[in-house]
Amino acid sequence: MKPSRGNIARRIISAYLSLGLTVVFVAVISVLIIAYTRQKLITEVHQRYEVALLSAHIRSEALLLSNAIQRYILEEVENDEAERKAINEQIILLEELLKEAADRVNPENVEESLAIGAIRQLLVAFNVQSKKVLNTADAEGGYGLETRRQMEILLRHYQPALIEALEDFEILEHKSADQTLGQAEAVARGIAIILSAVSLLALAFVASMSFWLSRRFIIPLTTLTENVRMHPDVSMNTPIEINTNDEMGALARALNLMKTEIKETRYKLEQYAETLEAKVEERTLELKMLAITDPLTGIYNRGHFFSLAGQILLEAKRMNFPFSVAIIDIDHFKNVNDKFGHVAGDYALKQATATMQAQIRQMDVLGRYGGEEFVLALPAVSSEEALLIGQRIVTAVREIQMIHEGRSFGITLSCGIASYNYENENLESILMRADKALYAAKEQGRDRVVGQYSNNTQGDIMIEYSSAELMIVNAARLLRDGDVVFVGVGQPNLACNLAKRTHAPNLVMIYEAGVIGAEPERLPLSIGDPTLVSGSLSVVSMYDIFSNYLQRGNVDVGFMGGAQIDKFGNINATVIGKYDAPKVRLPGSGGSQEIAAWANRCYIMTPHQKRRFPERCDFRTSVGALDGGGERQQIGLRGRGMEAVVTDIGILEPDENGELMLTALHPGKTVDEAKTNTGWDLKVAAQVRTTEFVTEKELQILREELDPTGIYLKGGG
């Protein structure tokens, strides 16, 4: 290994030494070239500026010569000979200056040579003309005519031409100097580019050398070192990635092979251990599930349900949340076992369980109470919400069509609901009340839900109500706050007063006797009852009630009681059967014919009996949609006629043709029950809703405030 490391060190030192020498050599050569080129170009620029200055000197001397000649001619000079000598010396100086400029001009520069040649010719001509002027002046003895003419030639021709040539030459020299300076800058930029390129090449060389050294020597050594220093588990799963064909590559391959063999052996041991652990865990889980679940249905058994439900109740008390339970029993389950066998009975239990689970939330707890009884804990669910959940479960199970071994059968459920209502109540007492509610559901005919609650002072109270109370409550819920309602006495009057005391405080009630906005202190027994006048808004004549209010469209709802009603909402309020020998004599039409014709909406309450719902009334005392198809609107009547018929089974409403159809069912009621009690083939809406349960508050107002003696609540009109 030592010779190998020494060889590696020598390679590294040699490579970086070569790199350093190369960089130093390139840098020195580049500096020398830049210095030499810069000095040469600066010298050339200086020479050109000196030639330009020399040209300017010649120009100034030429002007001085012209001035000296003029002074010599025009002024009387004391020493003419000395002045003449000075002028001649000036002429000689111009020639010497021009010669010096010509010597400094680069003969290879054609443009400069031509310019100097032109200046030389102009200067010779200028000097000759200057001498001619002097000679003419000497001959004429002063500033004669010829002297003046020759002087003008000198000043207007030779002098301007010389001066212009000298100025052009100066411009040329400045331009040449600028060009030379630009060339110097270009050369400097070029050298800088070359130097940058050389530097980049050197940098690339350094990078490539570093990469080569790292890949060849440093990385393999680092990889081996890091792998050895790793935690044994990590090192075992991390192969040494050295793929070179030298000693380090061979060492890495040997180590990787050793790791693979060790890892395979360890994996086999771990797999065996995991298999054993999984089997133990599976058996443990099976034992736990057997301890808490019902083996037939797969839901919690009675013991575990009590444990979970007790914890949920404690949490509900701590958080002040509602809590409800339901006890559910399969109706006549013994008959299923006796008729179809115990296997079919087990199948029915499983199907009922699956259906119940589909109707509840994930947080709800369903358990098997024993036999065909189930128990359901509903955290954070009020008594009203629990009743809806129970009804949903009962309805869903009722609709199951079970098929076992080719035989079809169905089952129904009875459900009792109870809710936690006071602090010290425990789970057992809530379940006892739910069990009482279940018993009541069975007593009422099974296949239904009954709820029970506790007021903590009067003991257990069952939420039970008559069919009349059911109709009155659902009719009251149809009314809107602010509606103007034309109402008679009896159950419609109860419904209006209930709505006014619950959700429609601004309801305005109009009575046939002429009372508007009545707020009676007690329930009126007839339309002429004096209690209607007390507290009313106004009292008018019956004529005004019908003509000025009803017929002019000022009545929102016309509310009528029991009668015979056909499929298009037409009403018979006289007799059923022949007029002279009636089967049933009805209360009489009163104002119902006017109300049905002119109110914007009409509601009626009546028990759902086949004799009350014929396909066609024996007499039409009050019109609905007539024979449908818009016939009511064609004869000029207001509204759509009968917009809701509230019965003890559900609610009927007109379709687009005016024919009544079933749109809602009361809890526990069925479509078949409604169709059976209707005298025509009753249409059923695509989505039949379930009406809400009657609440304690609604029953309290009806029973204690409106009809405490039960005149109308017992079923009377």
Closest C-alpha to 485, from 653, 624, 644, 602: 602
- Whether the Cβ atoms of residue 539 and residue 515 lie closer than 8 Å to each other: yes
Place of tokens 């309450």: 605
Token pair of 573 as six digits? 């309020």
- Whether the Cβ atoms of residue 652 and residue 677 lie closer than 8 Å to each other: no
Q: Detail the DSSP E strand segments found in 331-428.
A: 365-370, 373-379, 402-404, 407-409, 413-419
Active site residues: 512
Place of tokens 């509606």: 483
Token pair of 10 as six digits? 């020598």
Burial label for 588, CB within 10 Å (0-12, 13-18, 19+), is exposed
- Whether the Cβ atoms of residue 705 and residue 501 lie closer than 8 Å to each other: yes
Q: Helices then strands (H, E): number in the chain? A: 20, 22
- What is the four-CA torsion angle of 373, 375, 376, 381, rounded to 10 degrees? 110
Between strands 601-605 and 557-560, the pairing is parallel
SS3 content of the chain, % helix, strand, coil (to 5): 55, 15, 30
List the Cα angle 566/569/575 in 5-degree steps. Answer: 50
Neighbours of 410 (CB within 10 A): 12
For residues 163 and 491, what is the distance between their CA atoms, to the nearest angstrom? 132
Sheet containing 642-646, strands listed edge to edge, beginning at the edge strand earlier in sequence: 538-539, 515-516, 508-510, 484-487, 557-560, 601-605, 642-646, 650-654, 660-665, 683-690
